[in-house]
Amino acid sequence: MTDVDLRTSILRHLTYSLGSDADHATQHDWRIALSLAVRDRLIENWHAASRATRAVGAKRVYYLSMEFLIGRLLEDAIVNLRLEDEAQQALTGLGLDPVAVIQDEPDAALGNGGLGRLAACFMESLSTLGVPAFGYGIRYEHGLFRQSFEEGRQIETAEDWLTQYHAWEFERRDVRFKMCFGGEVVEEGGKPVWHGQEAVMAQAYDTPVIGWRGRWANTLRLWSAQPLHGFDLDRFNRGEYAAAAEPEALARTISRVLYPDDTTEQGKELRLKQEYFFTAASLRDILRRFEAEGGALTDLPKRAAIQLNDTHPAIAGPELVRLLHDEREMPLDQAIATARGCLSYTNHTLMPEALERWSEDLMTSLLPRHMQLIERIDAAHAAEQPSRSVSLTGDGEVRMGELAFVMAHKVNGVSALHTDLMKKTVFAELHRLHPDRIVNETNGVTPRRWLLSANPRLSGLITRTIGEGWVDDLEQLERLEPSLTDPAFLDAYAAAKRANKADLADWLAAEHGVQVDPDAMFDVQIKRIHEYKRQHLNILEAIALWRDIKANPQGNWVPRVKIFAGKAAPGYFFAKEIIRLINDVAAVINSDPETNRYLKVIFLPNYNVSLAERLIPASDLSEQISTAGKEASGTGNMKFALNGAPTIGTLDGANVEIRDRVGARNFFLFGMTADEVEARRAVPEHAAQAIAADPRLSGALMEISRGTFSRRDRHRYRGVVANLSGADYFLVCSDFTAYWDAQRRADAAFADADAWRRMAACNTARSGWFSSDRTIRGYMADIWDVVAVRSGLDEAMQPPG
């Protein structure tokens, strides 16, 4: 199918794959036909990649993750296969609008936020670098919920991406495993044997992930839960329709929904089942492949690097030990050592509520053999420690972070600060026992999606200035350095940003009915809504600014548009209050004729990857204002910097490294450091003190208290105000004054258009280190001990297209 031009291929797929007629085809039909035509162009290289891997017996990376926030796939494939021009011509030639066709694709929202998006960037980089890899996860029927607002409040509805034909996946009917839960462990022939009580099938679905220039493609293998047995016809014939359908419904529950929460455990039993389901299916698949290729089991670590993305797949430790020891008769100590040789673990948060703990009772009833093995692993580990201070269980719970740590040969944090804090806080004892185990791998983002494809104006300018090499090697952006003093380059840079902002302004008017001035500063905070991320600090500043403008409407104000987007976990009441408050404040401020030339506040619903791609290239200021010590890394912060939006931020997560690279002058730093935060929290009445010391802060809080933003319901935000003026755990009040001052520094800088565009361009030129290619190279060298296979084999592979 790759022997014909794209237009012919689209028309053939429209006719023969969809059975549709060009005269009646809908946008959806055209989009699927285009997707299939593009997909044809990558299949041969996908197969060649796995042949090349097998031919050299290469070690593979297996990335186990509950989440892969991949977003739309069509544009990624078009860009990486370099089919932009051909696709554009084919579509316009067929009388279609290329943008509309591409945007017809629903986002695959198989993740909550940073952790899931990181996994997606990693998959793309692994393919770009030609590293043999599989991503393993769950094929959720419903991705992250869809968010809308009703009177400012978040409303959640089911996301249903799979109700549309999904052109990118292949069902592998030959790759199915039976997964068991519950039951008991009995002695048989002197060996413990687990007899599960409940069973479901894990069915594999594969999606190719194509790298830059289409030279290599890896596989994202997602598991779907299916019933073991077909439909119960007997019961159906007896008229028991619901009962006949029950086993199927129950089995499917496991892959039904993505838990809409990235920091707290919930839906306990089902969640643990999901974790075991996909982890165990993946391990079985890995062992099947290893055994088919031949080799001594103790050599497994030479062929398989298994990365645990957070603790969600931490059951991989005991499960791999079980597969090696119980099912393949490897001695226990050797099984533990072999498993550890394969496994490594990435920690993504220090928030105590997010470090998973499962009750021993639940673990025993759902996974009885694993509970026994966890105790054996714990005992083996205790024997190594003189003081026996670390235990995998305690208070009736199994500690999954500790389990993942003990079963991994390397454990990594996701930014320098975060890794340092891991060593000093949550894993202090384990770090003391295993001082070489913790390493840092600062996060990164794929430049193909987040610059080349999301921001064609800026990437075109970069390519015209320094050539195209930056797409493979983002650190080449440094070569823009001499242009940072070239007025012609800076003009073009500013023009690209201005055009992106004008596009966004048009879209905001058309889709959301809000008018904004493209020359105002676009100040953007987009991420999950969480107290530690402090969207409420941002909105308090907006209220204070509004009051200042009203007090002096003739002042020399720098016009601002504050844009928010993000979802709150449905059960996280306070986060939902923050959303409502922002919407309520927006309603009042935006309709104030005295101030709305200077200040607008917009909360865009249903934040997802595609909305991020639209907003980031059009942003001026990046809000990264978490309480220091709480944001493990951040990756949005990197996308903004790369696209020329300087950061206003605290010394938290990867902000620290961004500031080091872009330069202190090109970053609006404010707030307490992680150490100062701890000290400040110990000061009694810290919030009350901060409020008393800053009339702007007390004024903003008073404005909320007196019901300005909740006219019919004066006490609506009593809880928010009480929280902020009381415990204020995330130190919003104590950082307010510094934040206000930093915002005014940003205003002054923005008012000097020449200085601002230079600052923006510096951010782009100096952010090359934040490529996920660099991060993956770090994992390859420090953790996985794998090499790329691409080199030398390119010739044997099909040229793209």
The residues of the shown chain that bind ligand CR1, judged by CB under 6 A, are: 113-115, 118, 262-263, 310, 348-349, 354, 414, 443, 631-635, 653
Q: Rounded to whole angstroms, how far apart are CA atoms 693 and 113?
A: 36
CA separation (Å) from 771 to 133, 229, 768?
18, 46, 6
Among the listed residues 207, 346, 635, 764, the single catalytic one is 635
For ligand CR1, give the closer residue by CB, 67 or 86: 67
* Annotation marks residue 600 as catalytic: no
At residue 296, φ and ψ (nearest 5 deg) are -70, 140
Q: Are 76 and 449 in contact (CB under 8 A)?
A: yes
Among the listed residues 348, 530, 560, 562, the single catalytic one is 348
Q: In the bound complex, what is the minimum distance in angstroms from residue 230's beta carbon to ligand CR1?
A: 38
For ligand CR1, give the closer residue by CB, 35 or 624: 624
Q: Are 758 and 490 in contact (CB under 8 A)?
A: yes
Among the listed residues 533, 562, 580, 659, the single catalytic one is 533
* Annotation marks residue 348 as catalytic: yes
* Annotation marks residue 639 as catalytic: yes
Q: In the bound complex, what is the minimum distance in angstroms from residue 76's beta carbon to ligand CR1?
A: 20
Q: Rounded to whole angstroms, how far apart are CA atoms 454 and 76?
A: 10
82 HSE (CA, 13 A, CB side): 9
Among the listed residues 528, 659, 716, 758, the single catalytic one is 528
Q: Are 667 and 746 in contact (CB under 8 A)?
A: no
Q: Rounded to whole angstroms, how far apart are CA atoms 536 and 554?
A: 28
Taking CB positions, which residue lies at the least distance from ligand CR1? 114
Q: In the bound complex, what is the minimum distance in angstroms from residue 686's beta carbon to ligand CR1?
A: 24
CA separation (Å) from 737 to 155, 493, 679?
33, 33, 18
Q: Rounded to whole angstroms, how far apart are CA atoms 424 and 629?
A: 12
Q: Are 323 and 287 in contact (CB under 8 A)?
A: yes
Tell me the sheet residues that pair with 524. 563, 622
The vertex-523 CA angle with 672 and 535, nearest 5°, equals: 50
Helices of type H across 62-105:
74-80, 84-93, 98-103
Q: In the bound complex, what is the minimum distance in angstroms from residue 82's beta carbon to ligand CR1?
A: 29
For ligand CR1, give the closer residue by CB, 414 or 504: 414
* Annotation marks residue 424 as catalytic: no
Among the listed residues 215, 431, 434, 527, the single catalytic one is 527
Say which residue the tokens 């009203």 belong to: 550
Tokens for 691, please give them.
Answer: 């409020």
* Annotation marks residue 567 as catalytic: no
> How many CB atoms lie under 10 A from the CB of residue 253?
15
Q: In the bound complex, what is the minimum distance in angstroms from residue 240's beta carbon to ligand CR1?
A: 42
For ligand CR1, give the closer residue by CB, 339 or 628: 628
Q: What's CA 539's distance to the chain center, in Å?
A: 25
Q: In the bound complex, what is the minimum distance in angstroms from residue 508's beta carbon to ligand CR1?
A: 27
Say which residue the tokens 């591409």 belong to: 102
For ligand CR1, give the closer residue by CB, 10 or 110: 110
For ligand CR1, give the closer residue by CB, 179 or 350: 350
Say which residue the tokens 């084919």 belong to: 90
Q: In the bound complex, what is the minimum distance in angstroms from residue 623's beta carbon to ligand CR1?
A: 14
Amino acid at 3: D
> How many CB atoms lie under 10 A from the CB of residue 669?
16
Q: In the bound complex, what is the minimum distance in angstroms from residue 569's beta carbon to ligand CR1?
A: 11
- Residues with active-site annotation: 348, 527-528, 533, 635, 639
